[in-house]
Amino acid sequence: MPFEMSSRAVTKVLWVEGSPKAERSLSSACARALLDQLGDGVSITHLDVWADEVVVFGREAALAKFGPLFGEPHTPEQARIWEQVTSRIEQVAAHDVLLISSPMWNWGIPHALKAWIDVVVQPLDSFTVDAEGRHVGVVGVGKRAQLVLTRSSAYDGRAPELEDHQEPYLRYVLSMLGFDVAEPVIVEPTTAWTQEERDQMAADALEHAAQRGRELAANLEANLKENR
Ligand SMILES: Cc1cc2nc3c(=O)[nH]c(=O)nc-3n(C[C@H](O)[C@H](O)[C@H](O)COP(=O)(O)O)c2cc1C
């Protein structure tokens, strides 16, 4: 993959890959098609949420999240976990653009992607609350987020407001963190019965993603000019 840090880089993109299917994943292929349009002046960091290094937010992390608010200082183990949590938030903060690619899994997102969200969404470090109790983004302020989402056949139309816990959820979390969330790439239905239909669906999806990549590239270029 041509995703290496470039010394000429001006814009940093963090790609969070939600599908575990790697080279067999359509959402990942669409993410690559989009990233391919961003040109040389961009550096890309790839985060596979299925890799072992992603912190699992278990008992000690859950206790550590609220302990200090209730006057319970972190234990040494909690402090160690919290360092990892903080470094994941810093990774997001160190990038200008966040790209999340994900399939729909049981109307929501794969648990490994949810686990990463549980790590990076933390009061004070990634969002805060104003005097009226409203959430105010911190980690995403001034940054663009782009979603690339696949689903085989999400809806049968009977309860549209209940059937999609993928796009609205991700959009909500990202905007709560302060990101400017771009129009997502949504590919559905991805289940096609003949090889010909599958090839056509994939080709259309890749072109759709590439088009969104060109739009993102133009947006980044305009921002750069504005800030020169
Ligand atoms: C565990 C699992 C659960 C799934 N649940 C849904 C679902 O609720 N709705 C849907 O439309 N597709 C569902 N799918 C299908 C995937 O979203 C679809 O195949 C998608 O195109 C896969 O994208 P990928 O190739 O990037 O992994 C599910 C697939 C798996 C493996």
Structural domains in the chain plus CATH codes: 11-227 (3.40.50.360)
The CA 6 to ligand 1 mean position distance, Å, reads 34
User: pLDDT 10s digit of each residue in the chain, 228 long?
Assistant: 344 444 444 799 999 999 999 999 999 999 999 999 998 889 999 999 999 777 788 999 999 999 888 899 999 999 999 999 999 999 999 999 999 999 999 999 999 999 999 999 999 999 999 999 999 999 999 999 999 999 998 778 888 888 999 999 999 999 999 999 999 999 999 998 999 999 999 999 999 999 999 999 999 888 877 777
Handedness of CA 83, 11, 37, 137 (dihedral sign): positive
Task: For tokens 């596979």, name the residue.
Answer: 48
The pLDDT assigned to 54 comes to 75
The pLDDT assigned to 135 comes to 94
For a mutational test of ligand 1's pocket, the pick from 48, 49, 104, i.e. the residue with the most ligand atoms closer than 8 A to its C-beta, is 104
> In sequence order, what DSSP letters do the residues of 20-38 get, joined into one string?
TTGGG-HHHHHHHHHHGGG
Residue nearest to atom 14 of ligand 1 (CA): 105
The pLDDT assigned to 7 comes to 43
Inter-residue contact 186 to 100 (CB < 8 Å): no
The overall pTM is greater than 0.75 = yes
Inter-residue contact 187 to 149 (CB < 8 Å): yes
The pLDDT assigned to 98 comes to 98
Question: Who's near 62: CB < 8 A, 6+ residues apart?
Answer: none
Our measurement of the distance from residue 171's CA atom to the centroid of its chain's CA atoms, rounded to an integer in Å, reads: 10
Residue 33: C-alpha distances to residues 20, 73, 114, 175 (Å): 18, 46, 24, 24
Task: For tokens 């994943």, name the residue.
Answer: 25
The pLDDT assigned to 55 comes to 79
The CA 48 to ligand 1 mean position distance, Å, reads 17
Q: At what angle do helices 59-66 and 76-93 cross, to 10 degrees?
A: 80
Cβ 26 under 6 angstroms from ligand 1: yes
- The ligand 1 atom at the shortest distance from the C-alpha of residue 27 is 26
Cβ 27 under 6 angstroms from ligand 1: yes
For a mutational test of ligand 1's pocket, the pick from 24, 100, 105, 153, i.e. the residue with the most ligand atoms closer than 8 A to its C-beta, is 105
